[in-house]
Structure 1
């Protein structure tokens, strides 16, 4: 008699990250007071756990070590930054819970994160968070300026949105025994990945009354916001290509390199709509010039 064994489909890197840190997460949340835990749980429900996945995969790229506590710590740090973003923008958690509760939750998250990292990890996280703070300081100053300098906006975007992904990749690699060159390449991988994701985030949520990257690109090039969106999409593709080059140069295990590449595409250009040939969507007599333009992500114009 032949038996057929049911095999579960392989889980994605994001699913594996949630499953890996899940038990540790439950224990950590139990340490928090009820009102603080409610804010943290709400925030975590909106995160994709890609920061934790980067720590886990970058460690797997070089060895077999348990970095689940560090992965959870970096996910807490990511939420810490998001809560501060909500406070600055008067949106999200601040609207739902009020400023005082959000500040308390952000402080608790930072304590939880540092308590799960060793000395090197705390140093890496501290440098990353200082970069985030510097980004916010620069952004506040730029908001009062009439000009929209693209290089400065890109610098702020990198400081705020690439620092933690870069730190997550470096931390995971070093924990598994990667040398300085290998860890450096993975740090650059995370840095480019974070900025590529920021470009896509801004394309997916264009607000014409705010200086998002597509709007700044449109102002500088004197094009439409739609043109700015297309430019940002192209930049995301270029940054992803550069990130994947750093991934290749660090010499990781082949299987893990493939997973990291898939994750990188998933959280960046994978969120954009695929190209649709003009002939297929408009008929044989349509203007084919539109096929030379890059595919655009769905746009939201809410203010």
Structure 2
């Protein structure tokens, strides 16, 4: 059926889940039995005893949605981008598994993180398995000679971004380093999702370049919003512990923006981060207040909106079909106005 009107964001994401969800599960179910089991626990598909869960899907599948829409934006059928959509979602989840271990976050999507219930080795190996499953999802698909190298390059940048994030936790206060982390950990995968989708749709290199840039800027905006939620978000909607970023002294974008200043609140924040004692609830509340006093919360919100505007300029330059363009625009605005 040809779409004549743009869908709203909930419909886009729900229909993406309907199209991509079974393909994602099919790919994971091809893994060897034991590792397939722990991967399924991470996705919430079954219990520890292998019983199917009745719980509703909690993943929003933003990256696969961008992949399918980028394909449609250049005139391709969404099904042509199904392998790429599966691949980017597998990469995303592999990164989440490893990220939870590094950050020692006990919750993921409101459930115990895999490492917290099955142990660190199981979570590491499950993440490794998903990385390779993502490559397998592209091998044999049309255009694999182009898409597989793009995906592999993306994973290398993700790994570098994750390591930069670890180094930032030592107390570095340079804002540009935090932006490099955002580019490496988040923006590169959204850029890859859009690039692979456009390529699957048969776009010429210039249109692919602009859609990749759309994804890159959207990724920076996403990380800005995510870092704000990491400090001021409601755990009931984020599914993560309150102010866990502050508790772990993570130098997220708002923190880096605050620390870059030479003001009493910025100096007090740096002192809190340099203290050897663990940060308790009162310390975290104080840190959040200090960040607000520096204006870094508002500055991060503005940065997110600026990157959305840059993303939409690149989208326009890609000369997209009207309906997919409107839907990509809606998702771009959702990124900075989401509840998780």
Q: 2:38, 2:300 → 1: CA distance?
A: 33
Question: 1:72 — aligned with what?
Answer: 86
Stretch moving more, 25-34 or 248-257: 25-34
Q: 2:13, 2:33 → 1: CA distance?
A: 27
**1:77-124 Cα shifts (integer Å, max 9, x gaps):** 111111111121122332132111112211221221111212211111
**1:30-79 Cα shifts (integer Å, max 9, x gaps):** 22345433432344355321111111000011123322122111110111
Gaps (5+ residues) in structure 1?
1-8, 273-297, 299-303
Matches within 5 A, 1:54-69: 54-65=66-77, 66-69=80-83
Q: 2:60, 2:161 → 1: CA distance?
A: 23
Q: Does 1:217 align with 2:217?
A: no
Q: 1:141, 1:54 → 2: CA distance?
A: 30
Q: 1:192, 1:161 → 2: CA distance?
A: 10
Matches within 5 A, 1:165-176: 165-176=190-201
Q: Secondary structure at the match of 1:210?
A: coil
Q: Secondary structure at the match of 1:116?
A: helix
Matches within 5 A, 1:216-295: 216-221=256-261, 222=263, 223=265, 224-226=290-292, 227-266=295-334, 268-271=335-338
TM-score (norm 2): 0.72
Q: 1:41, 1:270 → 2: CA distance?
A: 30
**1:168-191 Cα shifts (integer Å, max 9, x gaps):** 100100111111111001101100
Matches within 5 A, 1:152-231: 152-206=177-231, 207=243, 208=246, 209-221=249-261, 222=263, 223=265, 224-226=290-292, 227-231=295-299
Q: Taking structure 1 as reference, are residues 139 and 64 closer, same or farther at Cα in structure 2, changes over 3 Å only? A: closer
Q: 1:131, 1:195 → 2: CA distance?
A: 15
Stretch moving more, 234-243 or 91-100: 91-100
Q: Secondary structure at the match of 2:137?
A: coil
Q: 1:270, 1:162 → 2: CA distance?
A: 17
Question: 2:134 — aligned with what?
Answer: 113
Q: 2:209, 2:16 → 1: CA distance?
A: 23
Structure 1 outlier segments of 4+, above 4 Å: none
CA contact (8 A) 1:188 1:246 kept: yes
Q: 1:184, 1:50 → 2: CA distance?
A: 20
| Structure with higher RCO (Cα < 8 A, 6+ apart) | 2
What is the alpha-carbon root mean square deviation over aligned residues?
Answer: 2.0
TM-score (norm 1): 0.81
Q: 1:265, 1:44 → 2: CA distance?
A: 26
Question: 1:282 — aligned with what?
Answer: none
Gaps (5+ residues) in structure 2?
1-6, 45-57, 106-112, 139-143, 232-242, 266-289
